[in-house]
């Protein structure tokens, strides 16, 4: 029995391969998906009273496959407004805060939240030599300093992990007691 449904896998695929914020994916409408030009538009609002900002996100092959499979067909009687809708309520998701931890538990994996996917993806892009300004644009950060903080937090975590690993692998020498 699979750990997740096809819809759940689609959702995680799009979240993880776009490095989008969960709210951006939850608000993704079919009218914002442009298959002909191979991009979609993500919208975000940083603060309650701030303006909505848009950014065009090119589709990877895998994201395009997912979206094409999910796209409403001509013969569909009900055409959802949003790309990802709750099958029970038929409305867009607000925030799926229980989904990912529950999936981690099923998989017997250490729980993590969606934001970790953004951090991980940003670090993979950085390690691949992608310029900071490109990573900034992909993540939808207004300032490059925010992106740099993301990457620095990954580096610090990595350094701490390697240090722990090194201590486990090669324990510090035991100093004999003085006689």
d(CA 140, CA 108): 32
Q: Is it the case that residue 15 has pLDDT exceeding 60?
A: yes
* pLDDT for residue 14: 95
**28-42, 45-59, 150-164: least confident range:** 150-164
| CATH number for the domain whose boundaries are 1-109 | 1.10.443.10
Interval 113-172: pLDDT, tens: 888 888 888 888 888 899 988 989 899 888 888 888 878 766 666 555 555 555 555 555
* pLDDT for residue 174: 59
Q: In sequence order, what are the residues at sequence separation of 6 or more whose Cβ sits closer than 8 angstroms to the Cβ of residue 145?
A: none
Q: Is it the case that residue 50 has pLDDT exceeding 80?
A: no
* pLDDT for residue 173: 55
| pLDDT-above-90 percentage for the chain | 33
* pLDDT for residue 38: 97
Mean pLDDT of 90-108: 86
* pLDDT for residue 49: 75
* pLDDT for residue 147: 86
Q: What are phi and psi of 82, to 5 degrees?
A: -105, 155
Handedness of CA 112, 33, 91, 72 (dihedral sign): negative
Domains in the chain: boundaries: 1-109, 113-167
76 Ramachandran zone, left/alpha/beta (phi>0; psi -120 to 50): beta
Q: What is the mean pLDDT of the chain?
A: 83
pTM of the model: 0.79
d(CA 137, CA 147): 9
Mean pLDDT of 37-43: 96
d(CA 113, CA 80): 27
Q: Which residue has the higher pLDDT, 147 or 176?
A: 147
* pLDDT for residue 114: 86
| β-sheet bridge partners, residue 33 | 40
């Amino acid at each position: 029995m699979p750990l997740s449904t096809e819809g759940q896998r689609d959702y995680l695929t799009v979240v993880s391969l776009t490095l989008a914020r969960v709210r951006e994916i939850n608000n993704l409408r079919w009218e914002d998906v442009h298959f002909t030009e191979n991009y979609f538009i993500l919208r975000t609002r940083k603060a309650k009273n701030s303006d909505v900002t848009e950014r065009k996100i090119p589709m990877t092959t895998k994201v395009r496959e997912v979206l094409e499979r999910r796209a409403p067909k001509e013969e569909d009687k009900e055409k959802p407004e949003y790309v990802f809708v709750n099958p029970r309520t038929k409305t867009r998701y607000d925030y799926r805060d229980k989904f990912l931890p529950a999936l981690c538990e099923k998989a017997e994996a250490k729980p993590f939240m969606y934001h970790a996917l953004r951090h991980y993806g940003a670090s993979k892009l950085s390690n691949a030599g992608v310029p900071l300004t490109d990573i900034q644009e992909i993540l939808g950060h207004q300032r490059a300093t925010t992106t740099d903080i993301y990457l620095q937090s990954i580096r610090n975590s990595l350094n701490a992990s390697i240090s722990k690993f090194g201590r486990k692998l090669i324990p510090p020498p035991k100093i004999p007691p003085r006689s």
